[in-house]
């Protein structure tokens, strides 16, 4: 009798075979999911330094060797060229394709960066009975460009992008405690309250994702967001770049519970 693959490995096998081409939200509960940025080696050192200098928006979980599609730190038998349900392919800063596999365009100089994702801390929030409004409303999290600058590294620079979840103050205090335990998936919020203080002009009009309801007695709470590195890379318009399609993440074998710092 063969053992069943773990839920996370099964998700990757399904993406690899073409059976899974949709969002990975709620797949393999308890497992860390990761954002993907693939860059040519010539940009890799700058991008690694950018991540090092900006750990809240860019918590780097793993980085591959050039040309190597394996990411052994994050799971068994990962082939980064096929194990994500859908990719975005960028040439000179323009989105040119959204394939389910990038084997045909793989190059020996490509380096993969896997970056922590808010799915992990949202799971911890939901487990603590905290509200996650965009999950309740069945839409995407609202995200905003801010007036907070990231720390530049080589060619990479740009504004911090934040995600927003509204809740009551007492819930926000608990959310700060819960998410502080997960520094490798964005950690504690960067701001709460008045959006204007971080350069957000209209909370009802997110720059990415969907607007969500903010109820009476609630304050918006803002976390550093994994869209930041994607926006920073897009601004550089590299000749070639691959990312995951939004919401279509790498499902890793790591457990969210293992990321807890305490």
Binding site for a copy of itself (CB under 8 A): 169-170, 172-173, 176-177, 180, 188-194, 197, 217, 219, 262
Shortest CA distance to 223 belongs to which of 176, 257, 258? 176
How far is it, in rounded angstroms, from Cα 7 to Cα 29? 8
Q: Are 130 and 221 in contact (CB under 8 A)?
A: no
Minimum gap (Å) between residue 81 Cβ and a copy of itself: 39
Minimum gap (Å) between residue 148 Cβ and a copy of itself: 10
Q: Are 252 and 8 in contact (CB under 8 A)?
A: yes
The label of the residue with tokens 């007036």 reads 147
Of 70 and 176, which CB lies nearer to a copy of itself in the complex structure? 176
How far is it, in rounded angstroms, from Cα 118 to Cα 35? 10
* CA-to-CA separations, 136 to 24, 126, 212, 222, in angstroms, rounded: 17, 11, 10, 18
Minimum gap (Å) between residue 184 Cβ and a copy of itself: 16
Minimum gap (Å) between residue 187 Cβ and a copy of itself: 10
Helix, strand, or coil (residue 53): helix
Of 203 and 219, which CB lies nearer to a copy of itself in the complex structure? 219
Of 169 and 255, which CB lies nearer to a copy of itself in the complex structure? 169
Of 224 and 233, which CB lies nearer to a copy of itself in the complex structure? 224
């Amino acid at each position: 009798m063969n053992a069943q693959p773990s839920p996370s490995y099964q998700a990757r096998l399904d993406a690899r075979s073409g059976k899974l081409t949709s969002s990975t939200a709620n797949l393999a509960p308890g497992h860390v999911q990761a954002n993907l940025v693939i860059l040519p080696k010539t940009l890799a050192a700058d991008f690694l330094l950018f991540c090092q200098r900006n750990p809240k928006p860019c918590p780097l979980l793993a980085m591959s060797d050039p040309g190597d599609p394996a990411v052994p730190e994050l799971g068994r038998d990962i082939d980064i060229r096929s194990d994500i349900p859908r990719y975005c392919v960028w040439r000179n800063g323009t989105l040119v394709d959204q394939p389910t596999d990038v084997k045909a365009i793989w190059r020996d100089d490509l380096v993969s960066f896997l970056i922590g994702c808010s799915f992990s801390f949202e799971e911890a929030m939901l487990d603590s009975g905290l509200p996650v409004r965009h999950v309740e409303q069945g839409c995407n999290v609202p995200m905003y460009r801010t007036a907070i600058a990231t720390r530049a590294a080589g060619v990479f620079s740009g504004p911090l992008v934040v995600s927003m979840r509204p809740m009551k103050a007492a819930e926000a205090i608990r959310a700060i405690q819960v998410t502080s335990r997960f520094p490798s998936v964005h950690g504690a919020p960067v701001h709460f309250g008045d959006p204007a203080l971080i350069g957000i002009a209209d909370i009802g009009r997110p720059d990415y994702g969907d607007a969500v309801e903010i109820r009476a007695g609630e304050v918006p709470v803002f976390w550093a967001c994994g869209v930041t590195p994607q926006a920073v890379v897009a601004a550089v318009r590299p000749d070639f770049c691959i990312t995951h399609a939004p919401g279509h993440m790498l499902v890793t074998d790591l457990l969210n519970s293992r990321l807890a710092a305490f």
